[in-house]
A and B are shown apart, each in its own frame.
Chain A
Amino acid sequence: MKAALVISHQDNVATALEALEPGRRLEIGQVAVTVVEAIPSGHKVALGPIAAGAPVIKYGSPIGLASADIAAGAHVHTHNLSSSRGRGDLQPASGPRDPQTRLAEPPDDLNGADRAPASPTRRTE
């Protein structure tokens, strides 16, 4: 049984496949990280430090922005990761975007290079 799984090489979080205790060492390809707090099974763990305001990447795409500084090995969930979409409570900070403008946006590296990351590419032991 793998302890955690990274879906795309662009991801900065891994998904715990079992409950991870603080001090647990994860080695994922070139990245090694020590879990710093309890991570429930199915939840995300940061593979490196993520600054407040920076995108959290899973499936090779942004899944929201860090709402606080996140340490390597920390639990990433609703307390430090915030959605950027459908946020009426943030109006007008993210007002309606023009569909044409959005279509014209060239996919950035995060979205373009690995846009169909269906197969798990790297796993920890």
Chain B
Amino acid sequence: MTARPAFQGYRRPDGRVGTRNHVLVVPTVICSSVVAERIAAAAAPVGTALPHLAGCGQLGPDMRVTHDTLAAYCRHPNVGAVVVVALGCEQVVAQMLAEAARRHGKPAEIVAIQSEGGTIRATEKGTRIARSFAGLLADQEREWCDVSELVLSLKCGGSDYTSGLASNPTLGRVTDQLVELGGSAVLGEIAEIMGAEHVLAARATRESTAAHLIQIIGRVETEARSLGLDIRGTQPSPGNIRGGLTTIEEKSLGATHKGGERAPLEDVVGYAAPIARKGLTVMDTPGLDVESVTGMVGGGAQVVVFTTGLGTPTGNPIAPVIKVTGNARTARQMADNIDLDVSGIMDDTDTLDAAAERMFAEVLAVASGKQTTAEVLGHREFAIHRRNPTI
């Protein structure tokens, strides 16, 4: 181990590093989701499924996002092998998902429910493949990897006044430190940057990146306007408002602290698109927690740090999600769902720097295999962002 911070990860044939080593069971379409979940359960805990509601009856951009998100999970470094479960008549092409995995050096097989002859036969065949893959993965060992290999997803949900004062600034310090060490971080939830875009745009390394950020925030604002709706109907949420947050600007300024104070904004990318640059990236995701985490993990994040004021259970099928709260009451009441308590910042028994040091250590421990509360409790929420109606 070198003097630089490091973690023990799985080195992949494509050079990327995983923090988990899952057999991913991917349904191409909602119709094959139950079979996929049964196959994954039979190979648990290595097996993990991506049950979803899409894959057919979608047009243009939505179909593209569904396919690209599923393919992104097949390529993801936290995945060691892939079983694609097809129905047989859907739009998402099973072969393309399997190819996405194989191109990145992972074994991948397809089971199709119609050609196998139904649920029982498809489940049986898929289970045999998944267990055989799990056996292969069990032989792989973790190795020391430099911290610059990490892509950290920055997320907040169930925010209250402690989020902007304690947990988000703590995460911001971790972001700054990780980026200075050559790592990457990704911030999503465009609606929750609204009102704080000047903070991020000022740190953009290229004018075009700042312009892109402003443009997508303008799009979200225009969408709300074109519907004749007041964004206050959902932002801040009723829970946010009870917690003392009044406006989206206030929520956004607190939320944007997750991105640190110094980390340069290097890129703005589409939903679940590859996070290709070191430094800070903004991803175009909605504010809904599960859709947002799904997209950022699809982009390549191997660990998620999720700050919360009121407490929330969200996990992910392939990436560990670390829950952090600055609210002492939540740390007590929802202890089952909390990995890191930084509420001492609020009553001066802890400092942002000390809390950030503990958080950084926790990120490295989790990246090296330490289970998060979300993993222990089986929280594997997954939802692909949709913009248009099903046809």
Residues of B within 8 Å of A44, CB to CB, are 244, 246
Q: Assess whether A87 is in contact with B202, with CB atoms less than 8 Å apart.
A: no
A40 contacts the other chain (Cβ, under 8 Å)?
Answer: yes
Given A17-B346, A59-B164, A61-B198, decide whether A118 and B169 contact each other with a Cβ distance below 8 A. yes
From residue 169 to 216 of chain B, which have CB atoms closer than 8 A to chain A?
Answer: 169, 172-173, 191, 194-196, 198-199, 201-202, 207, 210-211, 214-215
A89 and B230 contact, CB distance less than 8 A: yes
How distant is B349 from chain A, measured CB to nearest CB, in Å? 9
Say yes or no: A88 contacts B244, CB within 8 Å: no
Residues from chain A with a CB closer than 8 A to the CB of B247 are 63-64, 81-83, 85
Within 8 A of A (CB), among B212-246: 214-215, 218, 220-222, 224-232, 235, 241, 243-244, 246
Question: Quick one: which of A2, A59, A61, A102 has the most chain B CB within 10 A?
Answer: A59
Q: Across the two chains, which residue of chain A brings its CB closest to B162?
A: A42
Interface residues of B in 139-180 (CB under 8 A from A): 160-162, 164-165, 169, 172-173
Q: By the criterion CB–CB under 8 Å, are A96 and B348 in contact?
A: no
Tell me if B42 is interfacial: C-beta within 8 Å of chain A. Answer: no
A120 to chain B, nearest CB (A): 7
Q: Which residues of A contact B229 (CB under 8 A)?
A: 88-89
Q: How many interface residues does chain B have, given as a range?
A: 35 or more
Query: Are A88 and B227 in contact, CB atoms less than 8 angstroms apart?
Result: yes
Q: In the bound complex, how far is the Cα of B160 from the Cα of A88, in angstroms?
A: 25
Known: A83-B249, A107-B198. A118 touches B257 (CB 8 A): yes
Q: Please state if B210 and A84 are interface contacts (CB–CB under 8 Å).
A: no
Closest residue of B by beta carbon distance from A77:
B246
Nearest CB of chain B from residue A71's CB, rounded to whole Å: 17
Q: How far is the CB of B227 from chain A (nearest CB, A)?
A: 6
Task: Decide if the interface of chain B is mainly helix, strand, loop or mixed.
Answer: helix
B34 within 8 Å of A (CB atoms): no
Report B327 CB to chain A, min CB distance, Å. Answer: 9
User: How far apart are the CA atoms of A82 and B241 in the complex, in Å?
Assistant: 12
B77 within 8 Å of A by Cβ?
A: no
Is A12 an interface residue when CB atoms closer than 8 A count as contact? no
Chain A nearest CB: distance from B334 CB in Å? 17
Cα–Cα distance between A89 and B222 once the two chains are bound (Å):
12
A sample of 30 cross-chain residue pairs with beta-carbon separation below 8 angstroms, ordered by A number, consists of A7-B165, A16-B244, A17-B347, A44-B244, A61-B249, A62-B195, A62-B249, A63-B195, A63-B249, A63-B253, A64-B246, A64-B247, A78-B246, A81-B246, A83-B232, A85-B195, A85-B248, A86-B220, A87-B225, A87-B230, A88-B230, A89-B228, A91-B225, A91-B228, A99-B214, A103-B214, A115-B202, A116-B199, A118-B257, A119-B352
Given contacts A86-B248, A115-B202, list 16 more A-B pairs with CB under 8 A.
Answer: A5-B165, A40-B244, A42-B160, A42-B244, A64-B247, A82-B247, A85-B221, A86-B224, A86-B230, A86-B235, A87-B232, A88-B228, A102-B218, A103-B214, A116-B199, A116-B262
Which residues of B come within 8 Å of A, CB atoms? Answer: 160-162, 164-165, 169, 172-173, 191, 194-196, 198-199, 201-202, 207, 210-211, 214-215, 218, 220-222, 224-232, 235, 241, 243-244, 246-250, 253-254, 257, 261-262, 346-348, 352
